[in-house]
Each structure stands twice: as C-alpha cells, then as structure tokens.
Structure 1
Amino acid sequence: MKEYVSVDVETTGLAPKQDKIIEIGAVRVRDGQIVGSFTSFVNPGRILPAHITELTGILQEQVDEAETMESVLPAFLEFAGDLPLVGHRILFDYGFLKRAAVNMRLDFERSGVDTLKLSRQFLSELPSRRLSALCEHFEIPIQAHRALEDARATHILYEKLLELYGTGPDRAKAFEPVPLICKVKRESPATKAQKERLKKLISMHQLVPEYDVEMLTKNEASRQIDRILAAYGSLQK
C-alpha cells in the first residue's frame, strides 16, 4: 500500500452493541512515513468503568468535556478519506466505527489489513501477539491503550512485518487490504416517551444514572427501563 490510515479506538468495553468509543486515534501514512495524525476524545454519554480508566488513564472529565460522536466521527472520516485501514485486530475498531457511522446514516465501507492476523501468520512461535508484546519484541516504543499511540505503533509494526515477511508474490498478498465485513443495523435514538418514562423512574427511585438519558438509543433506553422495573417495580406505588 502506498498510502493508508492506521487507526485505533479506546472504548468503554468490548461489545459494540452496548459499549461506546471514548477515543479515536489515527495516523495517515504515505510511502511508509506518517504524513498526518488525528486524535480526539469522544463523549460516550456515560460514566467510565473504573477498570477502563485504570487501563487507559483516560479520566471522566476528559470525555465529559469532549465532543460527541456526531461531531468527532465526520472529522475522522474526512481525515481518513477512502484510504484502506490498518489496525491490530482491525475488525474490533472497524466494528465500533461502523456502528457509529450507520447510526448517523454515514457511508463507511472500507478495506483493511489486520496486523494481528499477519502476526499470527508469520510469528506463530511468539507466546503472545498482543500489540504491547509485539512492540516489546520489535523494540517499538508505545504508550499502550491510548488510541493515537496504538495507531502509531501499529503502523510501525505493519512496516516492520512488511519488511521482514512481505517479499515474494505469495507473502506479499497477505499485506494487501481486503474488504472489511461488518453487518450493522441502525439503532434509532430513544423516543420522547421512553426518555420521559426513564427519567420518571430515575427520579422516583432516587437513582444516580451512569448514562446520559438524552444520548440513549431505543434499545438502550428499553434495557435501562427494564432493569429499573426489575429491581424496583413500576411507577405505580
């Protein structure tokens, strides 16, 4: 690839249907050299789990002060253009980004290369193919679990693997981008009635929600209503 975008996202958890992006980092690479970078926190509309803050070092106030995905994703898409993507376990990052794009009715169909897949193919003897372990193996400096740093390290890892294992027609093909397949259905925002009912339940039971009611989807609002009803009962005393 003459030009590509190496991308990484940090999230509130591992499930795209339930969790949210809290940081996007990317570098644009041309002829093996970084020619641009993108980084942004994203307001997920919820309290960060303690283990995520511990893992990433990202603080609640940093995401609370950030723009929501409605502003951040279009900026990222403009930065990335139509270039192929590179990522370590790229379908994880792509799945979160694709879900956000679909919910915003934005087109986001890309091809990409997975450095985790390449590492499994060419470095099967290593005990771990985690990004941090591979960076240690190749002496690539990294501040793990921060999006821009992981994206930069993944780019360096890709170039290193290409240098070592990318010669010959059979091997070279492994480094070519392939279509990224991720089936996602659009999630509609919570209805006015859902939000009103949820707010009444929260007020009635004097709860402190770990999410912004105004940012919930229909499914998310429905799940939260069901959880409160199961735990505390209905609006009627």
Structure 2
Amino acid sequence: MVKDYVCVDIETSGVRVKWDKIIEIGAVKVRDSKVVDTFSELINPGLKLSPYITELTGITDEMLKDKPFIEKVLPRFIEFTGDDVIMGHNIMFDYSFLKQNAINQKLKFDKMGIDTLKIARKTLKGLESRGLEYLCNYYGIADENHHRAFNDAEVTSKLYNVLMEKFGTECPGLFEPYQLVFKAKKMQPITDRQKKYLKDLMVYHKIEMNFNIDELSKNEASKKIDKILSEKGRIFD
C-alpha cells in the first residue's frame, strides 16, 4: 500500500475542462503517511468568477486579481509533485484540469493516481454519501475550510489514512495506484488578428480587460468577440 504520495485538490471557475480555469491549487507531500511539505497557490484565471463559485469557495475576484497566472504556477506545482503518485477525492477531475493545462504549456504531467472516492464507493456502500465533506464528518476529521484547495487536499490525505487502516488488509488492491489517462486536444491559441480586433473592440467600447489575452484560445477569443458584438455593437457602427 502506498504511503508516499502527493495529495492534491484544485478549485476552478467551472467544470468544463477546456473552457474553465484553475483558480487554486493545494497539495500536501506525504512520506510514510506523514505530511512533510505543502503547496498552496491562488491563481488569476483572467476572468470574473460567477457568484456561485464565489459562494461555494469563498474565493473572490479581489483575492485573485494580483495573483500569478497558471503559466507561472503550474511548472512550480509539477516540480513539487516530482515522480510521486498523486491522490485526490475524485482525482480525475483534478488531474484532467492539470493535464489539460500542462498540454497547453507543453509540459509533461503523466501520473499514477489513487482515488479516495473510488475506495469509499467500494468499501462504504451503506453510507448515504461518499462525498468528502460527509466522510470527514462521519470519521470525525476536522474539515474547517471546505472547498478550499489546501484544506481539501489535507483532509483527503487524512481520510486515506483512515480508509487504509480500516480496509487496507481486506482490500489491498484498492490502495494500489493506477495510470491516470486523460486525452485532450491541444487548443489553438488566439490569432494575432483576433488579438488586435479584441483589443480594439475593448478600447472602443471602454471595456476593462480583466483577463490575460495571450492565454486565450482561438475559440475563447471568438466567444469574447461575439459577446461584445452582440451587447455593444461593432466599431464605428
């Protein structure tokens, strides 16, 4: 059974891997079931958060406006994980966002993983929920800042220790890492023509640019342009 790993959790602006953004990464590095190092970063997503995401996470636009973009944070996180197995509660959600962003930046991030949600679904079938918050309450694990990345990574690691102690002997296979597979297409970056037109539109209509224009994909840029045209009209109409 694995006792050395990095347990990770992310918060995002939504659930669509290709279009939504990572706004926080939290992780704990574990050796022999004990935390030896931590990682916690807020990330500027280059867009305004929905009221739902702010209510869910407690993260506001003000908290993110001066934070680094994912291009700065992700390489540091990948270095932090090294060759470790990664763990999470529903790890494929976190891995898919991290992997998609790694692909966008031409970074290598191929990982073996362990999923505490998968373990809980196999071993705790009688419970009404296998959600992280419910399981922390069920096992008396202090969960004081739910839906913040570092907190959720830390309590997931504690949950894994509980599950390993209770079920590791009878279900050892559940605690073995497996290859995480997420296939993503590299998104085409914004074109120079789109960049110039979008900048011109925003200047003409006096719209504040609260995103990193160089980070946009071709599709994202088209959506922003279309939205401005539908709401404000063309230049010199």
Q: TM-score, normalised by structure 2?
A: 0.93
SS at match of 1:65: coil
Q: How does 1:134-173 map to 2 (within 5 A)?
A: 134-142=135-143, 143-168=145-170, 171-173=171-173
Corresponding position of 2:4: 3
Secondary structure of the residue aligned to 1:27 is strand
Distance (whole Å) between structure 2 residues aligned to residue 55 and residue 28 of structure 1? 26
Report the Cα offset of residue 219 of structure 1. 1.7
TM-score w.r.t. length of structure 1:
0.93
Deviations 1:159-200 (A, max 9, x none): 1111111113xx101110100010011223312211111122
User: What CA deviation, in whole Å up to 9, does each residue of 1:210-232 have, x standing for no partner?
Assistant: 64434312221022223333445
2:160 maps to a residue whose letter is Y
State the partner residue of 1:13. 14
* SS in structure 1 of the partner of residue 175 of structure 2: coil
Distance in 1, Cα, partners of 2:197 & 2:12: 28
Report the number of matched residues.
Answer: 235
Query: Which AA in structure 2 matches 1:77?
Result: I
Q: Distance in 2 between matches of 1:73 and 1:81?
A: 12
Q: Distance in 2 between matches of 1:219 and 1:82?
A: 34
Distance in 1 between residues matched to 2:36 and 2:75, nearest whole Å = 20
> Kindly, what percent of the aligned residue pairs are identical?
46
Counterpart CA distance in 1 for 2:141 and 2:149 is: 16
**Counterpart check, 1:195 vs 2:185:** no
For the residues of structure 2 that align with 1:2 and 1:144, how far apart are their CA atoms? 24
Compute the RMSD of aligned alpha carbons.
1.6
Post-superposition shift, 1:138? Answer: 0.5
Write out per-residue CA displacement over residues 90-137 of structure 1, whole angstroms, 9 at most, x where no aligned residue.
Answer: 000001100110001000000101111111111111111111011000
**SS class of match (1:128):** coil
Contact 1:43 1:66 in 2 (8 A): yes
> What one-letter code is carried by the residue in structure 2 that aligns with 1:58?
I
Aligned to 1:220: 220
Gaps of 5+ in 2: none
What SS is found at the alignment partner of 2:114? strand
CA distance in 2, matches of 1:37, 1:134: 23
SS in 1 for 2:147: coil
2: distance between equivalents of 1:177 and 1:214? 37
Instruction: Please state whether the residue corresponding to 2:77 is helix, strand or coil.
Output: helix
| 1:174 partner SS | helix
Distance 1:51 1:121 in 2: 31
d(CA) in 2 for partners of 1:148, 1:124: 27
Which residue of structure 2 lines up, in the alignment, with residue 184 of structure 1?
184
Instruction: Using the TM superposition, name which of 210-219 and 91-100 deviates more.
Output: 210-219
Where 1:186 maps in the other structure, the secondary structure is coil
The letter for the 1-side match of 2:180 is L
**2:117 paired residue number:** 116
